[in-house]
Amino acid sequence: MSTTTRHSLDDLLAIMARLRDPAGGCPWDVQQNFATIAPYTIEEAYEVADAIDRQDWHDLRDELGDLLLQVVFHAQMAKEAGLFDFADVAHAISDKMVRRHPHVFGEESYDTADAQTRAWEDIKAAERAAKGEPPDDSALAGVSRGLPEWKRAMKLQERAARVGFDWPDERPVLDKVLEEVDEVRDEFANGRDPQRLQDEIGDVLFVLVNLARHAKVDFSQAMRHANAKFERRFRHMEQLAKAQGTPLSERDLTDQEALWQQAKRAEPSAL
What pLDDT digit, counting tens, does each position of 122-176 carry? Answer: 887 788 778 877 777 788 887 888 788 898 999 999 989 988 999 999 999 999 9
157 part of a folded domain: no
Number of folded domains that form the chain: 2
CATH number at residue 69: 1.10.287.1080
Identify the burial level of 135 via C-beta atoms within 10 angstroms of its C-beta, where 0-12 means exposed, 13-18 middle and 19 or more buried. exposed
Q: Is the pLDDT of residue 271 over 60?
A: no
Q: Which domain holds residue 253?
A: 220-265
Whether residue 245 is contained in a domain is answered as yes
The answer to whether the pTM exceeds 0.85 is no
- From 43-47, 120-124, 251-255, the region with the lowest mean pLDDT: 120-124
| Domain's final residue, options 33, 65, 99 | 99
- Give the number of other CB atoms < 10 A from CB of residue 157: 20
Residue 75 to residue 80: CA distance in whole angstroms: 9
Query: What is d(CA 227, CA 217) in angstroms, rounded to the nearest whole number?
Result: 16
Question: 126 in a domain, yes or no?
Answer: no
* Within a domain: 160: no
Among 71, 99, 127, give the residue marking a domain's end.
99
